[in-house]
A and B are shown apart, each in its own frame.
Chain A
Amino acid sequence: MMGAQDISWPALGFCMAMLTVPLAIFVLLKVKLIKVTAWSALRMCVQLLLVGLFLKYIFEWNSNPITLAWLLLMIIFAALSVTGSTGLNYRRYAPLVFTSFLVSAFLVLLYFNGMVIRLDNLLEARYAIAIAGMLLGNSLRGAIIGIGDFYKSIKRDENRYQFALASGATRYEALAPYLGGGMTMALKPALANMAAMGLVFLPGMMTGQILSGESPLLAVRYQIAIVVAIFVCVTMTVTLAVILTLVMSFDGFGVLRKDIFRKKRSTSGA
């Protein structure tokens, strides 16, 4: 296998130099994105360099406990990020969101590594971390949209929800439309992506494999496999997260508790 053409450090400098084009445009058009762009680009470089350095060693060691610890760390970040972005109460919800990521990502990862890629060591660092990263990254986005939509819709449409309860709906019957709505919102981008794949763009993973010299057909099989795995993982994560958080979110009367969202800073201290 030939592997991808090397990008040397000076060459990466040439790449960063391209940023002067958007920056010059921002200056000329007085678009207030200069600071954000510089800050984001810097963060990207530092974060990725650190991750690259870590991964270099983690792949070299290829030790299951260390891989597992790295995966757990990724899941903790994912859970905190979802709880943060949806505005849900951290202390109560982060552990539950963490559990739903943990269960769904691990189940899908182990099945994928065992049955699809057929690895001898299911936690082979190179595969486990790369695949889990894609599963978690996508589930993260899905979960933020799905869980957020679920609770915000019930809060917004309280009358509809209460009307359903008052008409004799069980908890599940009253909540089912909202779970369906959240799920649809969460999966819509993934579905649109799936349908456009190959026509509009070459997906990132496939591009990476082609650049590193793999046959396009193997790259395609990997791509299809990972897209399916991601879809399954997003669905499982959203469903699990909703189910696990239900008990916390509704009182015995089936009414949505008022304190599920964090207080906004602007409204406190009045």
Chain B
Amino acid sequence: MIHYEKVRVTFDGVDVLRDFDLSVDAGDKVLIYGKSGVGKSTILKLLLGFARPDAGAVYFEGRVLDKGLVWEVRKRVAYVSQDMDIGEGKVAGFIEDIMSYKANQDLNDLDSRMRRAMDLFELNRSILEKDMGDLSGGEKQRVGLTVAVLLGRGIYLLDEVTSAVDQEMKKKIVDYFAGLEGKTVLSVSHDVNWLEKDGFKVVRMGVG
């Protein structure tokens, strides 16, 4: 489904990724594990078209990811970014904006699904009235995860999504994504909670 072939990404003359290969089948749960600064986030950004390979190629469902296909991919994935400065204004408005995109207008049961997602990530309803800028790092991460779950896409791209939450929540998030039937998960993290969880195909980065 997703295939990286000998991908090289250079940034300011330094190789961020070199000869990177990875194949992800539909339904796979993949953990890309390693210290920060070893190009893990770039792997997700490549699939989203925010980073471009200097050599090699990224394939999605057998086709080279190009400027036509990338817009299709973005409608098929849910991305939770590591940098949580992802919106402004009230949380409710932020979520509404995303749900108002043409690609997301056909989603059903938004209210009940939102309630379930917020319960899952232990977010109080009152957070909807808060300003995005006033949220803690952990709250922002959980709002990002709530949006990702609401979008109900088949592929999750998770970038360090457990970095700012407490141990109990870390486990809960890992368990949730590990147990998603039929969904593809690509999680980038340096958090051992993911590593300790069974069921993830582990790609170690920045070693050897």
> Which A residues touch B75, using CB under 8 A?
168
- Size of interface on B: residues with Cβ below 8 Å to A: 30
Stretch at the interface among B30-38, B80-88, B162-170, B199-207: B80-88
- Least Cβ–Cβ distance between A132 and chain B, in angstroms: 38
Which listed residue (A159, A166, A173, A254) contacts B102, Cβ 8 A? A173
- Contact between B67 and A251 (Cβ–Cβ < 8 Å)? yes
> Which A residues touch B67, using CB under 8 A?
251-253
- Contact between A170 and B102 (Cβ–Cβ < 8 Å)? yes
Number of A-B contacts (CB under 8 A): 69
- Contact between A168 and B49 (Cβ–Cβ < 8 Å)? no
> Which A residues touch B77, using CB under 8 A?
166
- Alpha-carbon separation in the docked complex, A253 to B88 (Å): 24
- Contact between A160 and B87 (Cβ–Cβ < 8 Å)? yes
Give the nearest-CB partner of B72 in chain A: A168
CB contact list, B77-136 vs A, under 8 A: 77-79, 81, 83, 85-88, 97-98, 100-104
- Contact between B81 and A159 (Cβ–Cβ < 8 Å)? yes
- Alpha-carbon separation in the docked complex, A160 to B50 (Å): 13
- Size of interface on A: residues with Cβ below 8 Å to B: 19
* A163 interface residue per 8 A CB criterion: yes
- Contact between A157 and B48 (Cβ–Cβ < 8 Å)? no
- Contact between A168 and B86 (Cβ–Cβ < 8 Å)? no
* A164 interface residue per 8 A CB criterion: yes
Supposing A251-B67, A253-B67, A255-B50 touch, asked if A162 and B104 sit within 8 A by C-beta, the answer is no
* A110 interface residue per 8 A CB criterion: no
- Contact between A165 and B74 (Cβ–Cβ < 8 Å)? yes
Supposing A162-B50, A173-B101, A255-B49 touch, asked if A167 and B83 sit within 8 A by C-beta, the answer is no
* B173 interface residue per 8 A CB criterion: no
CB contact list, B9-68 vs A, under 8 A: 48-50, 52, 66-68
- Contact between B83 and A166 (Cβ–Cβ < 8 Å)? no
Supposing A160-B86, A163-B86, A253-B49 touch, asked if A169 and B81 sit within 8 A by C-beta, the answer is no
- Contact between B48 and A166 (Cβ–Cβ < 8 Å)? yes
**Interface pairs (16), CB distance under 8 Å:** A159-B83, A160-B88, A164-B98, A165-B48, A166-B48, A166-B77, A166-B79, A167-B98, A167-B147, A168-B101, A168-B104, A169-B74, A170-B71, A170-B101, A170-B103, A253-B70
Given contacts A160-B85, A163-B86, 14 further A-B contacts (CB under 8 A): A159-B85, A160-B86, A166-B77, A166-B81, A167-B78, A167-B101, A168-B101, A168-B103, A169-B103, A170-B102, A252-B68, A253-B49, A253-B70, A254-B70
